[in-house]
Amino acid sequence: MNENTPYLVNNRETAKRRVLLENLLISTRKSHNLNFVIARGSDMFGPGVIVSTMGSTIFRNALAGRSSTLMGDIDLPHTYTYSKDFAYAMEQLGTSDKETGGVWHVPSAPTLTTNQFLDLIYTQAGTLKKVRRLGKSTLNFMGIFNPQIRAAKREKLYQFENPFVSDHSKFSKTFTENITPHEIAIKETLDWFSSY
C-alpha cells in the first residue's frame, strides 16, 4: 500500500471517519491555504502502546509464557510500525521546510509475517511461543454473543486476510530514515511492559 491506495471502507466505521477527516483537511487546505500532514503507520507497537494488535496483550502474554490470540492468517506478510520511529517521522514532517503537505507513510522495519514477528517477541521474552488463531467462522460465532468481537472482526480482520504491507518509499526519497531494527524495538517494548 502506498499513499494513493484507496481506503477499503465497506462498513468499517474507522475507515469512514478517516475518509471524512482527510476530505475535510483537503477542502480546508484549498479554501484556507492550510498546510497539513497526515502520517500513516501500520499496526503500532512500542513502549506505552497498550491498545493495538501488537499491544499489551501480546507483549504481556509473551513475558508470562501465555498464549497470544490473533485473528486471521498469521503467515501473511504484515508491516508493524515502532512507535518511536513513528514519532521520529512526525518530527521530520512537522519541522521540515520542504513541501510536506498531504499523506505520508512513515518508515517501518522490514515487513515480516505476523508469525515471524511473534517468534522475535517470544524468543526475546525467553518463553515458548503459543498462539491461538481465530478464523472468520470462529469470529462469526463468537460475535453472536460478543459485540466487541463483532466490531473487531468488522474493523480489523481484513488486514489479516491478505498481505498488509506499507510502502514508505515516498518518505525515504525525501528524508533521512531512522528505522529501529525489530530486535531492538521489541527488546525496548518488552523492557517497558515488564515493569508496566
pLDDT in tens, 145-168: 766 765 665 556 667 788 999 999
CATH code for position 139: 3.40.50.720
Bridging pattern class, strands 102-105 and 37-40: parallel
Residue 93 lies in a domain: yes
Question: Is residue 3 in some structural domain?
Answer: no
CA–CA distance, 185 with 47 (Å, rounded to integer):
9
Burial 147-180 (b: 16+ CB within 10 A, else e): eebeebbbebeebbeeebebbbeebeeebeeebb
Q: In this predicted structure, what is the pLDDT of residue 141?
A: 55
64: Cα separation from own chain's centroid: 23
Is 132 part of a structural domain of the chain? yes
pLDDT number for residue 97: 79
Give residue for cell 498462539. 131
Residue 85 lies in a domain: yes
Identify whether 94 is part of a domain.
Answer: yes
- Asked whether residue 87 is assigned to any structural domain, the reply reads yes
Question: Domain for residue 1, yes or no?
Answer: no
Contact 166, 1 (CB under 8 A): yes
Name residues of the chain where pLDDT drops below 50. Answer: none
Q: Which residues span the domain enclosing 184?
A: 13-194
How many structural domains is the chain composed of? 1
In a domain, 6, yes or no: no
pLDDT at res. 144: 64
